[in-house]
Structure formats: C-alpha cells, structure tokens
Amino acid sequence: MEINSIYIIKRETGVCLYHKDFTESAFDPQLLSSFLVAMTSFFDEATRSVTSQARAFEGTHYKILVEFGNWTLGAVSTKEDSAFARTKLKRLVERFENQFNVLRWVDIDLAIHTRFEQSVIEEFVRSIIHHDTIITVRAEWQHFTKKAEVVSFLRLIPSICTVKEAADFLEIPLEVALNLTAEALWERTITIENPVKPDDIYQPTSITGETDLTEPLPPETVRTIGEFDGETPISIAAERLKTSDLKRFLDEVALLEKRKIIELVTPAHSIAIRYTSALQSLLKNCANIVGMNVMRDVFVRSKQKLVETYPWLAFVSLEDGVDIELRSSLTAATIKGSISPDAVNDGFRVLLQFVTRRVRDILGCNPINKIVANTRKEIQTHYPSTAYDIEWECLTAVKSS
Amino acid sequence: MSRWTYAIATISLGFGILITSVLLWAFGFDVLALSLTNVLAPFTAISVGILGMAFFGRESFLKEDRYHTLYAWIALGLIFFSLADFTTILVSMAEDSTQLCFTIGLVQIPGLFLWALGIMSYLKSLNSSLRLTEGTQLWLALGIITTLMSLSLIVIVSIVFPMRNLLSTIVFVPITIVLGLVFFILLAVLWIFKDGSLAQPLLFLLFGISLLFFRAIFWQIEGYCNETAFNQLMAIESYLFIAVAFLIANKIGISLET
C-alpha cells in the first residue's frame, strides 16, 4: 500500500479526530496533528495568506501530504506526492466533514473510528484490490478480527487464492468478494499481492543504492531491462523480445520489481499510454480510408475544441502521419503524478468521442462503429485486463436524426 | 470558390457538351459532332488526369496515403486513356481500321490496369481497417471471377459474332470485365459509406466509371470502334464526372468546419 497512515485534524484546536496506521512505523497522531496545525498556521501568518498555503512536509523516506477542508485538514504519510493520493485525501476530508459536521461546533463522542472506517476502506483499500489479487491468509488470523463476515469469509477460502477464486469458491458475486477482501486487509488478517499483468507498464526505478545485489540476476532477466522504458506494456515488450513463455516473462518482471530495478508507472501515466495507443490505432484505421490529411485535421479540430476544458491536451500532438506524440512536459506530469488519473481519463475519453463523432460524419455510423470495434480488439491484445477501462460504448455512433 | 462551385461548373460543362453534340446530331451535322467529340475526349482525359495528379500525386506516393493513392491511380489511368482517345482520332482517319481498333483496346489496357490497381489497393486498405474478410479469400475470389468471366465472354462473343476480329475480342472483353469489376467494387464501397460524406466523391466516380462500363457493354453488342459521336461523348461525360469526384475528394475534410 502506498499510504502509510491517515490523519483528520480539527484546524481550530489541532486535535486529531481520526487516524489510521497501515504500517508499524506511524507518527504519534496527537504530536503530528499539533505539528501540522502549528506549521500551517505559521505559513499562513508568514505569507499573510487567507487560504492555507502548506501542501506537504518531506522526510527522508516519506512525505506528509496535506489537504484542507472547511474546518478540518487531512494528512497522509506516503512515499510519493501524487495528484492521485491528493484527490483521494480531498474526497476523504469532504466525506468526514459531511458525516461529522456537528464536531465543528461541539466535542462529543460519535464513535468516529467505527463509523468512518468504511469511507477509508473505500478510498484507500478497496482500490488496490482487483479480481486477480492474490490473498494470503495470515497465520493465527483469528486473533486479529471479530467481524463475523470477515471470519466466515476467511474460514471458508483456501489460505492462498485470488479474489476471483475466492468468489467462485464461495459462490458469491465478485464485487462482494472484493469488499470482503478489503475488510479482511483492513483487519490485517490477510496480506495481498497484485501479480504482474501483461498490461502493466514499468520504468527503470529512480531509487539507487538500495538494490540487493548479493544474488546476480539471470542473464535472460537482465536482457529484458532495456524494454521497460515507461511507455511499453509488458505484452509488447514480450513480443519484441520474442518471448514464447509469457508466464515466465512475467515472473522475470516480478523479480526485477522485487529487486527495485524497475517500478510500475503511475496510474495517470498508464492511462495516458493506454489511451494514446487506442487513439493512434483509431486514427490509423480511419486514415486508411479517408487519408492522413483528413484525420490530422479531425484530430486538430477535436483537440482545439477541448483545450479550453483540458489545457493539458495542448501537449498531445501528431508527428508524421497520424502518430501521436505526448510532449515531454505532459509525460513528466503523468509520471510524477502531478496530473490526476481521472483528469487524464476524462480528457482522452472526450477527445476520442470528438474524433469518432467527426469521423462518423465522413464515413457514416456503421463503418465507424466497426472501426471502433476493431480498435478495441487490437487494444485488448496488448491490454487484456485494462482495455475495458476505456469506455468504448461511449464511442458507438448512432445515426443523427 | 468552394469545392461544390467547381463541381457544379464541371457538371454544367458536361451538360453543355452533351446538349451541343445532340443538337449537332439532330440538325444533321454528324461529322461535326464526331469531330468535336473526337478532339474533346483525349484533351478532357489528359486535363482531368493532370488535375488529379496535381491534387493527389504528392500525398499518395510520398506519404503512402491509400485514399489519395486511389485517386492518383485513377488520374494516371486517365492519362493512358487519353492516349487511347488520340488513337481513336487516327482510326477515324484511316480507311482500314481493324488493326487500329485492336491498338485502341491495347492502349486502354494500361490505364484500366492502373484503375484496377488503385481500387484494389484501396479495397485492401479498407479491409485492413474494417476487416470485412480474413486472409486472401477475397483476392482469390476476385481473381478467379475476373479470369473465368473473361474466358466465358470471349467464347460467347466468338460464337455469337463469328465475323468479329478475334484479337479485338480478346482485348475488349477483359476491358469490359475489369470495368464491371471496378464498377461493382465501387458500388459496394459506396454502399458501405452511404451515410457519410465520403460517399459524395465515390458517387461521382461511380457515375464516371458506369458510363465507361455501359459503353463497353454497348461495344460488345454493337461492335468495337464504331465511328459515332456517342462513343466519345460517353467518354467525355465519364471523364468530367471523374473530375467532379476529384474536386470533391480533394477537400473531403472541409465539411468538418460546420
């Protein structure tokens, strides 16, 4: 989990109203809340600002991100500052203020920890659990939880299985199994591991000097490192290396990740790369029919319409023909996570919609729908797990009346 | 001026030539009508061919743009057709035209080959995007159909019209079949894109090719290289329809502005 701990603090008094530690090495909540309130007040005074200016406090191995509500401030201790984590924290603060608004005026016991638990699970735990997440039930797990649904869930499932297997085993809907896994993880009765998927995009890690090199890497594993450039999904890297055994290749990637030689790119960057592939494939397929000039024109006009709403789209351009280029400034923003995945997702989704609407006028409904279907198939081969994150149904053209 | 203004001007020119020729023929000036169409046909073909190359030549061959390539091949084909039309002028001047008639057909073949090449490349490109058929089945089917139909028609024409020159039959029958093939492929492509603006240039292209196709069918029935104004008039109208297709196709993206 990328989050170490979460704190919700009352700004006026500096009292920590809620905290949750996901690791053993968390800060003392009251100490931290006093520090954060004092520091943010100091910055506000120093800069004579009406709105609070402080955004983060940085340590050697952690960063404390701060987001402000109307009368509370939320803080998370994490490894990296990212728009993704900030969006979640902001949402959590809003939910807290809505749910416990009365605490703004009076101090009463509202059983916050029990009642707010579900919101934190939804924001920070549930999102890291997928259907193929591997669950490992901890030894002596019975000592950690008394929740009836978690106990009955863990009693029946195998000690090591995926969430999907657990759902099939218990004959319950997958969504229920995902939620139960989240609760079990919250109770620390299980550990989870997300396996490497063919869709995943890796980049060389920026961490140096921490790699355990006591055991040398196998030569075939070393050979693969060059393929992880932060833009190529594993499926394409495997094709380039002419790998016959994808499972073994995924194991090699997992080993490189474990050794901290490579790391997963941010969700925003992953979405940008996936959408770029989809957009390029769509433009290429359409250009085969109407020509490159027309498709370049369609792309530029669609982008121009959207730049006002999504300014970062100005950094998406076309190279020769219809090859999409993400300018380095946008790539840097997605890699650093300073642009949220939702913003990237929305921008590219609408751009794809605008392009398909314009091409529909040239080709008609049936051909563009066929092209969209073929593009989806192409993307599915390289992004088997995440191709459906693109809302293909929004791209389906219907005859205008 | 917009693309449609040029297109309407070209269509008006076609009507003008048609009405003039019909009037000349109606008032008994057959020779004048024939001379006029004989001269106009090759010049129209070469002019439209050059216009097409100017519009589509650069994009097609340098940038491997399949859409532009289709029209570039057709433009190049028209330049070859103009050679065939120049030959027709020679035929009209010659006493014994049997060998020259065969030559006209022979000169038309490279132009027609370029048209077929253009339409097949476009069909291939279309298939790669729409995935209408898998593998090589379509190409195999088209090749077999063209060959079998050409052979069958040569046999039928030779039996029905035993007095006709066999060499001319061997040349003109495949011309009819290939024109028919191009016509039906274009019809199918037009049907696929019937709801979109891409259908507009394709429709005019289809009109142009259909005139040549019907003229070729007419040749099979009435005999090759008849010295009539009708033959050349059909060619002129066909070339002008193709010119309209070029004018619209060149600016297909302009409709996006609205």
Residue of A nearest to B129 (CA): A285
pLDDT at A361 over 60: yes
pLDDT at B257 over 60: no
Domain A3-121 part of CATH 1.10.3720.10: no
User: Is B82 part of any domain?
Assistant: yes
Mutate to test the interface with A, among B55, B67, B251 (most CBs of A within 10 A): B67
The arithmetic mean of pLDDT across residues B30-40, rounded, is: 85
Q: How far apart are CA B201 and CA B253, in angstroms?
A: 12
Q: What is the pLDDT of residue A209?
A: 47
For the record, the structure tokens of A43 come out as 């910055």
The reply to whether residue B256 touches residue A321, judged by beta carbons under 8 angstroms, is no
Q: What is the pLDDT of residue B258?
A: 45
Q: What is the pLDDT of residue B240?
A: 94
pLDDT at A281 over 90: yes
| Pick from B129, B195, B255: CB nearest A364 | B195
Q: What percent of chain A has pLDDT over 70?
A: 94
Residue pLDDT, tens place only, B101-156: 777 788 888 899 999 989 988 998 999 898 888 777 778 888 898 889 989 988 98
Q: What is the pLDDT of residue A207?
A: 55
| Pick from A293, A367, A399: CB nearest B130 | A367
Q: Which of A264, A332, A184, A271 lies closest to A2, judged by CA?
A: A264
| ipTM score assigned to the predicted complex | 0.83
pLDDT at A210 over 80: no
Q: What percent of chain B has pLDDT over 70?
A: 91
A201 strand-pairing partners: A233
Q: Where are the domains positioned within chain A?
A: 3-121, 129-193, 202-264, 267-395
pLDDT at A124 over 60: yes
User: Is B70 part of any domain?
Assistant: yes
Phi, psi of A20 (to 5 degrees): -145, 130
User: Is B257 part of any domain?
Assistant: no
Q: Are A350 and A362 in contact (CB under 8 A)?
A: no
Query: CB distance from B190 to chain A under 8 Å?
Result: no
What is the total count of domains within chain B? Answer: 1
User: Is B11 part of any domain?
Assistant: yes
CA A171, A172, A175, A179 torsion-angle sign:
negative
| Pick from A288, A361, A366: CB nearest B66 | A288
The arithmetic mean of pLDDT across residues B30-42, rounded, is: 86
User: Is B200 part of any domain?
Assistant: yes
Return the amino acid letter for B217: I
User: Is B186 part of any domain?
Assistant: yes
Q: What is the pLDDT of residue B181?
A: 92
**What does the DSSP 8-state code read for residue A393?**
G
Given phi > 0 = left and psi -120 to 50 = alpha, else beta, which region is B223?
left
User: Is B17 part of any domain?
Assistant: yes
The reply to whether residue B252 touches residue A291, judged by beta carbons under 8 angstroms, is yes
Q: What is the pLDDT of residue A212?
A: 52
Q: Which of B252, B136, B117, B126 lies closest to B189, judged by CA?
A: B126
Q: What is the pLDDT of residue A214?
A: 57
- The DSSP line for A49-74 is -SS----EEE-SS-EEEEEE-SSEEE
Q: How far apart are CA A153 and CA A147, in angstroms?
A: 10
Q: What is the pLDDT of residue B132?
A: 84
Angle at B105 between CA B112 and CA B78, to 5 degrees: 35
Query: CB distance from B63 to chain A under 8 Å?
Result: yes
CATH code of the domain in which B240 resides: 1.20.1070
Q: How far apart are CA B115 and CA B199, in angstroms?
A: 18
- The DSSP line for A206-253 is S--S----SSPPPHHHHHHGGG-SSS-BHHHHHHHTT-S-HHHHHHHH
Q: What is the pLDDT of residue A86?
A: 84
Residue pLDDT, tens place only, A27-61: 788 888 888 888 887 777 777 666 666 677 787 77
Domain hosting residue B48, numbered range: 3-252
